Chains A and B, each alone.
Chain A
Amino acid sequence: MVSGKRILTDFKVFSRGYLRNKFGLFFGLVFPVILILIFGAIFAGGSTGKVNIYAQNLDTGPFASPQLDIASTFLATLNDSSTITVITVNPSENFSKYLSDHSVSDGIVIPADFSANYLAGQHVNVTVYGNPTSSTSGIVSGTVGGYANGFNLNYFQTKYKDTTPAIISITPATVNTQQTKYIDFLIPGLIGFSILTSPMFSLVNISSEYKKTKLFKQLSLTPLTKMEWLASKMIWYIVLTIAGFLLMVGVGVLAFGAHVAITPWLIPFLILGPMLFAALGMLVGTVTKNPETAGVIGNIVTFPMMFLAGTFFPISSMPQYLQTFAHVLPLFYVTEGLNNAMVYGNISGTIIDIAVLGVITLVIFILAVKLFKWRED
């Protein structure tokens, strides 16, 4: 029978011990904030230079010769500019949906027959998407406009030695997608990072050390049950996670002007996440023979998640096989869910992530409690 009083008793002693241990506090709260400050500073202020523009080229030919594929030449020229990097979008995509799904606002659509019309001297229209409130949209429309003019001039100079009407015109299209900055993405990523590392490392360590030093046996001689013991650790790491969450969001917003949404949809992640990794850490500590092996296995389980589950950089920027691999990492559903809820406002995606996370947590929790032995036989 689970006793709330005993959980509270153990919670008090554990949290007090944790707070007295500067080391744990550093890794639990200070370290993630330092990471935000470092990574935020590195990538702050659009210092990456070029703006990404998503281009959908509907002019798929066929062309008699590659020289006649003016649309591709136009995009290649844009890509060579000092301000823009062109990212190609498959012609089969619904473009505005694509932009919003990827939380980007800058895009360009080249119509079908662009090349043919251009060469025939007939008017063609290019649609440029942008969010007027975003600093990048000016860069994009300016650049695209400039190059369109260049192409127009070029055409008339070569054909008619003349500079009259424009063949390529630009229609602006407004999209409301908030541009995702690196810092916006970094905050959920690093929250995921601390949801993983604090409980995981700590429980791997505690459960293997307590086994070795017979502290578990010692505790088994009291009325405290192993479920109560684990529950108290989980509660502590939920508290720590929420504190870390507030701290990291605060620093991200105040120091770097991050755009992140705080919604109730985040709560399941802040609860399930620490529970999952506390249980996983305990599982590792339980199935291994000694603290040394536990540490090694713990690292083997933790490190791929630390880097490949969308913590420091977006999954979408990784090669396809790593993206596939990421889907087996439990942390992936935490970071994806946090991103969906905080950055993309994608609630249906969030709900799926919560469901997957819930199932994983349940499985790991049951395994940990089943395999974990207070005493030996």
Chain B
Amino acid sequence: MLPIEVSGLKKHYGNLKAVDGISFTVNPGEVFGLLGPNGAGKTTTIEIMEGLRERDGGDVKVLGFDPWKNGYELHKKIGVIPQEFTFFEKTTPREAIIYYADLFNVKVNPDEILKEVLLEESAKVNFDSLSGGQKQKTGLALSLVNSPELLFLDEPTTGLDPNARRAIWEVIRGLKAKGKTIILTTHYLDEAQQLCDRVAIMDHGHIVAMGTTEEIIEQHGSGERLEIHGDEKLAEYLKANTDLQVEFNSARREIFITLRKKIDALAALAAAEQSGMEWGQIQTRQDSLDDVFVKLVTEPIGEQGEASTEEKTGKKRRR
């Protein structure tokens, strides 16, 4: 039995198909990422697995339980941080841990858990005075109180500064090292690459790609390409004077030449030299996860490699 088995999962809100027939499994000890822009259906999916929302169709088994019907039993065995975790304002992380331990009727050493999530210094600060990262760490701490083997983290680092994000990553890596199975959602590509063994890219309720990031890039990315910094005239010249596949990116003032064979690079550079026009830096690259993400996901990417937050309505659905 795998920790998580999802097949044909569906959930709609009125006419909106938030999750539209997705299937995946998660292996023991794996960090599995649901990656996608806002509104892709990540939270809906993860909360159905946690037994917090009822599904409309498909099968979901979490640790062998039907999460909606057997939520009360399931919850004793899983740890969860909901998106935008909050807690009682006037309660400290340490008190919160003790509160959870009493509710779960388990004996824990609060200081050990605080140490595990790198929160020792703020153990006695009221929740409403904690920084965003410390709040998130409190959530992590609470999700560990009942010693779960399976953790669900919904956007664990959204809105945090880079240092706080790195600290959370460190905690998550530590948990993985202890053999815990972790499902996390994120709209940060770097986070998925840093943490996840496997990723499912979600868009508009569908999984548009799944596998390790390398597998996804290989399956959905283009091959190697040559990039020449130059202007549109040069791009036109190359198009006219070679049989290479040439694209021009006016925003980055970059000419992309697809390399079917390595030798194509030489032809391109020779032609550029021949043109007598100015050209700058050259490099060869493969599609990164970013590039693949842009291709797969209908949502535009924001400045920081972060999926745009705006929801475009009335857009044609993929597939």
Contact = CB atoms under 8 A, between A and B. Distances in A.
A20 B84 contact: no
Contacts of B75: 220-223
Contacts of A300: none
Interface string B45-76: 00100111110000000000000000110011
B95 A222 contact: no
Nearest to A374: B52
Given A21-B89, A214-B82, A5 B102 contact: yes
Contacts of B105: 5, 223
Nearest to B152: A221
B80 A214 contact: no
Contacts of B86: 213-215, 218
B99 A9 contact: yes
A179 to B, nearest CB: 46
B23 interface: no
A181 interface: no
A93 interface: no
A224 interface: yes
Interface size class of A (residues with CB under 8 A): 20 to 34
Given A17-B91, A217-B82, A223-B75, A376 B53 contact: yes
A217 B52 contact: yes
Interface size class of B (residues with CB under 8 A): 20 to 34
Given A6-B102, A16-B95, A223 B76 contact: yes
Interface in B79-109: 80, 82-91, 95-96, 99-100, 102-105
A76 B189 CA distance: 90
A218 B90 contact: no
Interface in B120-174: 126
Interface string A6-23: 100110111011101100
A327 interface: no
B194 to A, nearest CB: 26
A13 B88 contact: yes
Contacts of B51: 375
Nearest to A225: B72
B52 A376 contact: yes
Contacts of B84: 213-214
B19 to A, nearest CB: 14
A220 B52 contact: yes
Nearest to B86: A213
A301 to B, nearest CB: 25
A9 B84 CA distance: 25
A45 to B, nearest CB: 42
A13 B91 CA distance: 7
Given A20-B126, A214-B83, A224 B103 contact: yes
Contacts of A377: 53-54
A54 B16 CA distance: 71
Contacts of B89: 17, 21
B82 A218 contact: yes
Contacts of B100: 222
A9 B95 CA distance: 11
Contacts of A224: 103
Given A13-B99, A16-B95, A223-B105, A21 B52 contact: no
Contacts of B72: 223
Interface string A341-377: 0000000000000000000000000000000000111
Contacts of A13: 88, 91, 95-96, 99
A6 B104 CA distance: 9
Query: Which of A5, A215, A222, A224 has the largest number of chain B CB atoms within 10 A?
Result: A222
Query: Which of B83, B84, B88, B126 has the largest number of chain A CB atoms within 10 A?
Result: B88
A167 B84 CA distance: 88
Query: Which of B47, B76, B78, B102 has the largest number of chain A CB atoms within 10 A?
Result: B102
A220 B87 CA distance: 13
B87 A375 contact: no
B102 A375 contact: no
Contacts of B103: 6, 9-10, 222-224
B187 to A, nearest CB: 18
A218 B52 CA distance: 9
Contacts of A12: 99
A16 B124 CA distance: 14
Contact of A215 (B78, B83, B87): B87
Interface in A206-220: 213-215, 217-218, 220
A213 B84 CA distance: 8
A149 to B, nearest CB: 70
Nearest to A222: B103
A212 to B, nearest CB: 9
B91 A221 contact: no
Contact of B88 (A6, A17, A220, A221): A17
A221 B80 contact: yes
Interface in B215-271: none
A377 B52 CA distance: 8
A217 B142 CA distance: 14
Nearest to B102: A9
A104 B294 CA distance: 84
A9 B105 CA distance: 10
Query: Which of B54, B78, B103 has the largest number of chain A CB atoms within 10 A?
Result: B103
Contact of A223 (B88, B96, B104): B104
Interface in A297-329: none
A267 to B, nearest CB: 30
B144 to A, nearest CB: 13
Contacts of A17: 88-91
Query: Which of A12, A18, A20, A21 has the largest number of chain B CB atoms within 10 A?
Result: A20
28 contacts: A5-B102, A6-B102, A6-B103, A9-B102, A10-B99, A13-B88, A14-B88, A16-B90, A16-B95, A17-B90, A18-B90, A21-B89, A215-B86, A215-B88, A218-B85, A218-B87, A220-B52, A220-B75, A221-B50, A222-B100, A222-B103, A223-B75, A223-B76, A223-B104, A223-B105, A375-B71, A376-B52, A377-B53
The 4 A-B residue pairs whose C-beta atoms are closest, nearest first, are A17-B90, A20-B90, A9-B102, A377-B54
Interface of A: 5-6, 9-10, 12-14, 16-18, 20-21, 213-215, 217-218, 220-224, 375-377
Given A18-B90, A217-B47, 5 more contacts: A21-B89, A214-B85, A215-B86, A218-B86, A224-B103
